[in-house]
A and B are shown apart, each in its own frame.
Chain A
Amino acid sequence: MSWNLPHEQDGKTPATSSELLAEMHDRPLTMEECSALEHWLASSDEAKGDFINRSIDHANLVVTHIAAQMASPSYPANEHLESSPGRFHTLHRMIPRWSLLFWLFGGVRNRMRISGFCAAAVAFAAILLVTLSLTWRDDTGNSPETDPGSMDPHLHAVDALTAGKIVAGKETNWLPPTAVPLADQFPAGELAVRLRRNFNRLEEVDYQPKSLFDPKHRHPQWPGDTEGRTALALMLLSQATGRKAIYLGQIIRHMPDTMNARGYYGPIHQSGQVDEQQLSSHGWVLRALCEYYRWKHSPEALAMLRRIVKNLVLPTHGMYAAYPIDPVLRHRLGRWSGLLNRPVNGFSLSSDVGCVFIFMDGVVQAYTVDPTEELFEIVQELIDLFARTDLAAINAQTHASLTGMRAALTYYGMTGDCSILENVEKKFAIYKSQAMTEDYENYNWFGRPVATEACGVVDSFLVAMELWRLTGHPGYLEDAHHIYFNGMSATQRASGGFGGNMCAGAKGRFLNTKIDEAHWCCTMRGGEGLVRAAQFAYFTAPHAVFVPTYGNNRVRLRVGKAILKIRQSSKYPFDGGGRFEIVSSTAVDPVEMRFFRPSFAANFVVEVNGEPTEVRAVNGFTVLNFLPSPGDVIEVRFELSGGWAEPINVHTFAGLRTLRYGPLVLAATGDQRGRKIPNVPVVRHLGGGAFTAGGVVLTSIYQLVSPPPPEQGRLMQVLF
Chain B
Amino acid sequence: MSESGKKQDEEEKLFFELWVRHQSSIYAYIVTLLNDPHDAEDVLQESAAVLWKKRASYDRKCTFTTWACGIARLEAFRFLREHRKRTLHLSEALLGELAARLEARLAERPSLVEDRRAALLQCLTSLSDSQRKLLSLRYAEGLSVRSMAVRLGTSATALHGKLGRVRGRLASCIRHRLQISTT
Contact = CB atoms under 8 A, between A and B. Distances in A.
Interface of A: 19, 22-29, 31, 34, 37-38, 41-42, 48-49, 51-66, 68-69, 91-92, 95-97, 99-100, 102-103, 106-109, 111, 113, 115, 117-118, 121, 124-125, 128, 132, 145, 152, 154-155, 157-158, 161-164, 167, 173, 175, 368-373, 376, 414-419, 421-422, 542
B42 A111 contact: yes
Given A28-B88, A59-B37, A164-B107, A65 B135 contact: yes
B120 A64 contact: yes
Given A24-B87, A115-B49, A125 B16 contact: yes
Nearest to A294: B93
9 contacts: A27-B145, A28-B88, A48-B98, A53-B116, A57-B171, A102-B41, A164-B110, A175-B108, A416-B67
Given A22-B163, A158-B18, 8 more contacts: A55-B32, A59-B31, A59-B40, A61-B167, A95-B24, A163-B110, A164-B108, A369-B93
B101 interface: yes
Contact of B108 (A95, A173, A370): A173
B16 A56 contact: no
B140 A63 contact: no
Contacts of B102: 52, 56
Contacts of B66: 416
Contacts of B104: 175, 542
A64 B124 contact: yes
A23 B164 contact: yes
A111 to B, nearest CB: 7
B20 interface: yes
B14 interface: yes
B41 A107 contact: yes
A48 B53 contact: no
B59 A56 contact: no
Contacts of A155: 14, 17
Contact of A56 (B32, B81, B108, B138): B32
A60 to B, nearest CB: 4
Contacts of A421: 62
Interface in B9-59: 10, 12-14, 16-24, 27-28, 31-32, 35, 37-38, 40-42, 44-45, 48-49, 52-53, 57-59
Interface in B100-137: 101-102, 104-105, 107-108, 110, 112-113, 116-118, 120-121, 124, 135-136
A163 B64 CA distance: 9
Contacts of A152: 13
B89 interface: yes
Interface string B142-173: 10110000000000100010011001101100
Contact of B57 (A42, A161, A417): A417
A34 B32 contact: no
A27 B163 CA distance: 12
Interface string B59-90: 11111111111110110011001000011111
- Contact residues of B: prevailing secondary structure: helix
A564 to B, nearest CB: 20
A26 B161 CA distance: 11
Contacts of B112: 56
Contacts of A128: 12-13, 16
B136 A65 contact: yes
Interface residues of B, number: 93
B107 A103 contact: no
A107 B116 contact: no
B140 A66 contact: yes
B113 A162 contact: no
A65 B139 contact: yes
A92 B116 CA distance: 12
B32 A416 contact: no
Contact of A175 (B18, B107, B135): B107
A54 B175 CA distance: 11
A59 B24 contact: yes
A132 B35 CA distance: 33
Nearest to A166: B61
Given A55-B35, A64-B121, A103 B101 contact: no
Contacts of B81: 372-373
A384 B102 CA distance: 28
A42 B95 CA distance: 10
Given A96-B20, A161-B60, A60 B120 contact: yes
A63 B135 contact: no
Contacts of A109: 38, 41, 142
Given A371-B92, A415-B71, A108 B41 contact: yes
Contact of B163 (A26, A113, A370): A26
B32 A52 contact: yes
A416 B120 contact: no
Contact of B139 (A62, A417, A542): A62
Given A26-B145, A175-B104, A162 B88 contact: no
B113 A59 contact: yes
A23 to B, nearest CB: 5
B181 interface: no
Nearest to B16: A128
A96 B77 contact: no
B57 to A, nearest CB: 6
A55 B17 contact: no
B120 A57 contact: yes
Contacts of A51: 32, 98
A351 B42 CA distance: 48
A31 B89 contact: yes
A99 B101 CA distance: 25
Given A28-B88, A163-B110, A418 B62 contact: yes
Nearest to A34: B89
Contact of B67 (A31, A56, A418): A418
B38 to A, nearest CB: 6
B16 A100 contact: yes
Contacts of A132: 16
B108 A542 contact: yes
A542 B48 CA distance: 30
B163 to A, nearest CB: 6
B91 interface: yes
Given A29-B88, A175-B104, A415-B70, A164 B35 contact: no
Contact of A100 (B23, B145, B174): B23
Nearest to B63: A162
B24 A96 contact: yes
A220 B118 CA distance: 64
Contacts of B52: 117, 121
A48 B31 CA distance: 14
A89 to B, nearest CB: 14
Given A55-B31, A92-B117, A155-B17, A66 B139 contact: yes
Given A52-B105, A55-B28, A161 B20 contact: no
A109 B38 CA distance: 7
A34 B10 CA distance: 46
A129 to B, nearest CB: 8
Contacts of A99: 20, 23-24, 27
B1 interface: no
Nearest to B68: A416
Contact of A96 (B21, B64, B101, B124): B21
A150 to B, nearest CB: 12
A316 B6 CA distance: 41
Nearest to B139: A65
